[in-house]
A and B are shown apart, each in its own frame.
Chain A
Amino acid sequence: MDNNLITRLGDRLYEAFVEQKTLVPFTEQYPEITLEDAYQIQERFIERRLQAGEVVVGKKIGVTSKPVQQFLGVYQPDFGQLTSNMIYAEGDVMNLDELIQPKAEAELAFILKEDLVGPGITAMDVIRATDYVVPCFEIVDSRIDNWKIRIQDTVADNASCGVYVLGETRGDPKKLDLTLAGMVLEKNGELLSTSAGAAVQGSPANAVAWLANTLGALGIPFKAGEVILSGSQSQLVDIADGDTLTCTVGGLGSCSVSFKGRTAVQRKTQEQQA
């Protein structure tokens, strides 16, 4: 793809984000789109958010589980950028009005105390460079029609990142078993599913190492203080007004988030029915 088209598609994603609209998948309109093109479109999309006053606060890793990789036909994760308007604190009520077609994922977040500069980064470096880990929810959202995404679509769309909330219990990765720690996910007090850290690339630290190496190759900085959402340890969970989700990580603690309001897709559906 030429640079003009890349810029235009990044702009279209930004406009869709601002106007809460969805787009026809790029992979339908431009079947020749490559993963490299998609990351460049993502860069433009983020550039527009930064121009509007946001700052980069971290990264998210996506496509880390085997079922999702098989579904998308890719055998490595992807990543997106976390920006300052995506942050919610535990205890906040998340406003669905600001999202298009959100779904929740339970994850472990890493907060770095040292820069991680790939290539050559291993999971051991990740543990060394991590200040602490916390349980968290990533609320993914898609600016693509009906989540009809292929890997290039989600990568261009900032890895389908929406917003996120970090739990308040901080854990020292040297005192935890990141691979075997259980993950218990509840919705409105009912058990939804259980899993373990190994769901993410065999161990969440492996996913963070992958990210450091991938960013290193692309020349993208990966700095101390950044938040890294390491990848989903649960299935995608539907959320609606009044729901409360809690995820609890064995040996660490929990993160809860409540939701209010109506998503853009819900509002549109209700208008059509009226």
Chain B
Amino acid sequence: MKEKKSLNLLAPFESFVDKFKVPLSILVGAFLIAVPFLGASRVAMRNLVMIFLYAMLGMGLNVLLGYVGQVSLGHAGFYAIGAYTSAILTTTYGWSFWTGAIAGACVAALIGFLLGLPTLRLSGTYLTIVTLGFGEIVLMVLRQWESVTNGNYGIRSIPVPELFGWELTLSNGGFYWLILFLSTVTAIACYTIKNSNAGRTLIAIKEDELAATMMGIKTTRYKILAFVVSAFITGLAGAYYSVINNGYIEPNNFVFNYSIQILSVVIVGGMGTIRGMYFGSALLMMFPQVFRFLNQWRFVIYGLLLVLMMQFRPQGALGWQSTLPYKLPRRAKKALAEREKAKTVQ
């Protein structure tokens, strides 16, 4: 009884959103773009920047976790690779941020490919373990390869991005618009992937890998694809991170805890959803700020919340099943229409 009622309320909400999606997104978009002009303080801007950054990181992991169901505990490694590649290219070789960022993302994707090649034929849990080890090894390399990464001294004076001579900073809103742009592009890309042929294949693998194999899907190939896309997004986010950290990065910014934090964003927000990434990120980024008064109890409570969340809402805060009718892909629609036509002709 209760369940039914809830569906009744969710459905109109979703169909409302669906019906007015163009004006709604214009409205929300305009508001988001206008935020820096609305007199938001520097703290608020910083918080928003971190929220969007982690939403983007969440989306990156989501491609792997939410779509293919593979758990990674080493995304801080890709994050680091993106950040360091971009930072080294911009400081030592004088590249611009834009090319450096793309290069960072590509290197992360390449490493993802090389790592995924041998390991993705392993089953889920083993992949988790390998990624965990991968994160630790990346850290080791960052600390040891001093001639390139500058070891524990970190890389400093990473230049801020410039757009036609305009320097992007936190106070002029540049950082905010940049991450807004990056996360929006990522969201659109993720949405496109999810609703593409490849995306449906990925979800098929997640739901039942054996069945997917039986259907003739080359599961390893698709898993690697997802892994590479995930690494690319994370690397891009890393490149962005390297400039917002006051131009200074060091290996400690990419330790295991960050992998867990990225994972938490996806889990808390709702695996497989894009809205959930924004929400999960907002929740987790604001948690330490808002609960500052708890002092040392903060992380005890944080742990408790994770446990309770898993007990009572394991699908994540916004992880509901869509109530909208399933939209057939264009190709399928076309095929159906043709068949209909053929029938009527007969």
- A joins B in a complex: no
> Which residues of B are in contact with A by a Cβ distance under 8 Å?
none
